[in-house]
Amino acid sequence: MLDVEHFDLIVIGSGPAGEKGAAQAAYFGKKVAIIEKAPAVGGAGVHTGTLPSKTLREAALYLTGFRKRELYGMTLDLDRRASLRRLMGRLNAVTGEQVEQISRNLDRHDVTLVHGAASFVSPHEVTVHDARHPGQPERRLTAGVFLIATGSSPLRPAGVPFEDRDVEDSDTILELDRIPESLAVVGGGVIGCEYACIFGALGARITIIEGRPALMRFLDQEMSDALSSILECDGHQVRLGDAVQQITRVPGGPLKLALKSGAELLVDKVLYSAGRAGNTSGLALDRAGVTTDEKGRLLVNAQFQTSTPHIYGAGDVIGSPALASVSMEQARVAMCHAFEIDYKTRVAAITPFGIYTIPEISMVGSTEEELTGRGVAFEVGRARYENNARGQITGERDGILKLVFEVPSRKLLGVHIIGDHATELIHVGQMAMTAGATIDVFIQAVFNFPTLSELYKYAAYDGLGRLARRS
């Protein structure tokens, strides 16, 4: 009979949600264990998702001088294999630093780390099997509260030949053997667009194939259209309203894609980015009374409780918005609810999206299309990077900052940015919206000069000018 180890909280998964949920409970004196089946902590956020793609992006921009080539009349011929080694070297360095940082955080909070795959025996008990050590007996752990934060994995549609060495998903794309000459990206969501831009910066010819009428449909239409236009101006293709019907290998040659439109493409590599599924298989959730949807995602209530109230879910495993920043907050809120800690009772209503395409895109609040659908009277104000002194210095010409505000109150309802440092700039608008401010706050504010932040003032001037002309 195995000895049973008891904890106040058992967390399954050590990604952003799992780590922060464990630390939150431990901070308030709870005895916590975190179970991780991978060799190192960090989850997809560190090893295959958030940080790897962003690290590759920055490394690609640095290695290629992408932002400065036109500004200084530079040309650059990449050694594709040597450059790939540098890219992956930087990625491995950042990953190692993050693993160490997360490990230190768990140690500092006295969280017990248990390696292996968890499986529920009953609603209050799990067994943990460590496949890396076949002779090691399973561990039995019990707890009053559980947090499932196992993340998600790429969906692999039937009929796609993933057995081919050049057909990748968003996890295997990180195991590259070379920088491709040409890449077809199937799926125009966030992950597909981010990787398309990274490999475009590295010199690959990109074709994005998206069945819907726009890239990243949740974006403000103007931002989505701007990204498509930028990609096409850089010599890439964006095929909207199209789909891949078949992928075959030309004998001894490239991959051939037959499209619904009748077109055919020949490419070195294909990246399939067709959505994600919750990592819940193997957990034996039925033994705990926990239900999932058809994609294996946990169904939770406003407090992040599953169908078994003492078992919570947070992060990508519960679906949208599947942002690392929001996942952390979900886990903190869930654990405060579980242990009746009056510290953090809800996730903030206003949260930003950051998309690390080239250029970056970020948004907070409502889009024009949403407000039109709801019948809300609004106006917009825009400022362009090409008219901003800092944008002129850095050579950023394509960027736009757009304010959406209510009429007649002038209350700020949304901010949408495409351009350099968009994911940083968005927080100025986010805090103004959190305070319930009108766009007049930007008129009255003093911004450093020359800075991109000054775009807010001139977007507000533009918006007020539009409003005056309407009157």
pLDDT in tens, 25-52: 999 999 999 999 998 999 888 888 778 7
User: Rounded mean pLDDT of 363-379?
Assistant: 98
Rounded mean pLDDT, 91-115: 92
pLDDT digits (tens, 9 = 90+) for 5-21: 999 999 999 999 999 99
- Is-contact 452 425, C-beta < 8 A? yes
Least confident of 124-138, 141-155, 260-274, 295-309: 124-138
Q: How far apart are CA 173 and CA 168, in angstroms?
A: 5
Query: Which residue, 186, 183, 184, 192, is CA-closest to 159?
Result: 186
Identify whether the C-beta of residue 143 lies closer than 8 Å to the C-beta of residue 5: no
Q: What is the pLDDT of residues 219-243, one digit of tens each?
A: 999 999 999 999 999 999 999 999 9
CA distance 114 to 326: 25
The pLDDT, as a whole number, for residue 137 is: 84
pLDDT exceeds cutoff 70 at 265: yes
What pLDDT does residue 75 have?
54
- The Cα–Cα gap between 439 and 255 comes to 51
Is the pLDDT score of 67 beyond 80? no
Q: What is the mean pLDDT of the chain?
A: 92
- Out of 38-47, 257-266, 352-361, least confident range: 38-47
Angle, CA 16 vertex, CA 99 and CA 136 arms, to 5°: 60
Residue 62 has pLDDT above 80, yes or no: no
The DSSP symbol for 1 reads -
Q: What pLDDT is stored for residue 84 in this prediction?
A: 67
Give yes or no for residue 326 having a pLDDT over 80.
Answer: yes
- Split at pLDDT 50, 70, 90, the class of 464 is very high
Task: Answer whether residue 274 shows pLDDT above 90.
Answer: no
List of domains in the chain: 4-154+277-338 (3.50.50.60), 167-274 (3.50.50.60), 359-470 (3.30.390.30)
69-84 per-position pLDDT tens digit: 555 555 555 555 556 6
CA distance 406 to 409: 6
**For position 72, what pLDDT does the model report?**
55
When pLDDT is averaged across residues 287-292 and rounded to a whole number, the result is 97
Taking CA atoms, 207 is separated from 237, 257, 326, 459, in Å, by 5, 11, 31, 33
> Quick one: pLDDT at residue 214?
96
| Residue range 198-222: mean pLDDT, rounded | 94
- Please tell me the predicted confidence (pLDDT) of residue 61: 80
Residue 263 has pLDDT above 60, yes or no: yes
Alpha carbon separation from 387 to 210, 395, 444, 451, 455 (Å, rounded): 33, 11, 20, 12, 9
pLDDT confidence of residue 92: 82
Average pLDDT value for residue range 431-452: 97
Residue that has been written with the tokens 């200084």 in this structure: 72
